[in-house]
Amino acid sequence: MSSDKYEKRGVSSQKQDVHKAISNISIGLYNNTFCKIIEDVFGPDSDKAIILHADGAGTKSSLAYLYWKETGDMSVWKGIVRDALYMNIDDMMCSGALGPFIISSTIGRNKMLIPGDIISTIIQEFYEQSIWLTNLGIKTELAGGETADVGDLVKTIIVDSTVYTQIHKSEIIHINIQPGDVIVGFASYGQATYETEYNSGIGSNGLTFARHEVLFNNYAIKYPETFDFNLSKDYVYTGKYDVTDMDNETKLPIGKLLLSPTRTYIPLLKEILPIFRSKIHAIIHCTGGGQTKVLNFTKNIHIKKYNLLPVPPVFRLIQSVSNCSWYEMFKVFNMGHRLEIYTDQQTAQHLIEMAKGFNIDAQIIGHCEYSETNKLSIKYNDNELEYVK
């Protein structure tokens, strides 16, 4: 699959237009943090700074709608909340933030298709996740939010969140990836000690592509509200599977594999950061851009990922159905690890052991070298993939 095919569905893994739009806007206090960090406007002489971050579940909510219509399973909406929340909080965590967090939800729905019990389930899950985080020792407050009936604009539903925190400037993780650093990859799949079921690792990136490539065309007829009418029919539900078809490897419905909630790593980072913060040169959340995300934060570094964690079933399924090139797969999806920490060899071993305590697979997946160009090399099976930015 070429990137042209991906973008013809109206999405972009690199978000070039967005980066261009914000190119003249202040980057905040620092130019080398995962999230934008601004001065504490409430106490400008303070030793604290502010992170205000917004993110959401994206088009995964359209898949949740389709699955709910087919099965009546309301639990998928709880997963959408976790997607919207942890795509957000885990970004902030990469800058060193561990709360307290103030959360606001934003829901836009087509009232004719999304009934009140779905809205109730979503709002209640934001509340439940807030309680879960607080009980974990990460103080969280739910500040309310906006729920709007915008059927003229939104075909089904969109679920987002905005999260606020203060952080001591001394605790900020400044991205400073260096030659000699090793890279620890933390699995996005499996079942962590704090999860109640198997997580496919899909996260919330690439779902437009995954949904249309994997699921069969009958859904275009049954649920025209789940896609953009401007898309060529050649790009609408071109796969061969029903959402209730079972995946042979995991013995789970394919729809559930694609809807698996985004794993949060914050229970693990809550243990790691107080001990090893000073030893960490970068924490990267492999979201938009997949395994190439790190290239947004490096200069004169050659990142070599040659010892990846196993690619989990959900990504092998997507690739086999779509015949997408591995080059593009690694550019769109996290491919099995959505968190990376760049550090020294000794610290890396400690982090791997700590991850095992949470039943999260982790290993050294590569290292960094000096380079006159900014590039990433990935070795997967017999594939040698190279990305330059």
DSSP β-bridge partners for residue 160: 56, 106
pLDDT the model gives residue 1: 40
Q: Residue 258 corresponds to which tokens in the numbers above?
A: 């694609």
Instruction: Pick one of 3.30.70.141, 2.60.40.10, 3.40.50.740, 3.90.650.10 as the CATH number of 3-388.
Output: 3.90.650.10
Which of these, 292, 387, 291, 298, lies nearest to 338 by C-alpha position? 291
| Ramachandran assignment for 203, one of left (phi > 0), alpha (psi -120 to 50 degrees), beta (any other) | left
Strands in the chain per DSSP E: 38-39, 48-56, 101-109, 140-149, 157-168, 182-187, 282-285, 301-305, 337-343, 362-370, 375-380, 383-388
Sheet holding 157-168, edge to edge: 38-39, 48-56, 157-168, 101-109, 140-149
Q: Name the pTM for this structure.
A: 0.93
pLDDT the model gives residue 184: 98
CA distances from 276 to 154, 226, 359, 375 (A): 44, 45, 20, 27
Q: Dmax of the chain from CA atoms?
A: 60
Chunked into runs of 10 residues, the chain (389 residues) has average pLDDT values of 54 56 75 95 88 96 98 98 98 97 98 98 98 96 95 97 97 97 98 97 96 97 95 94 97 97 98 98 97 96 98 97 95 97 98 98 98 96 94
The per-residue pLDDT of the chain, averaged, comes to 94
Tally of helices (H runs) and strands (E runs) in the chain: 12, 12
pLDDT the model gives residue 20: 67
pLDDT the model gives residue 342: 98
CA dihedral 92, 98, 103, 108 (to 10 degrees): 30
pLDDT the model gives residue 45: 76
Specify whether the CB–CB gap between 179 and 369 falls below 8 A. Answer: yes
Per domain, the residue ranges of the chain are: 3-388
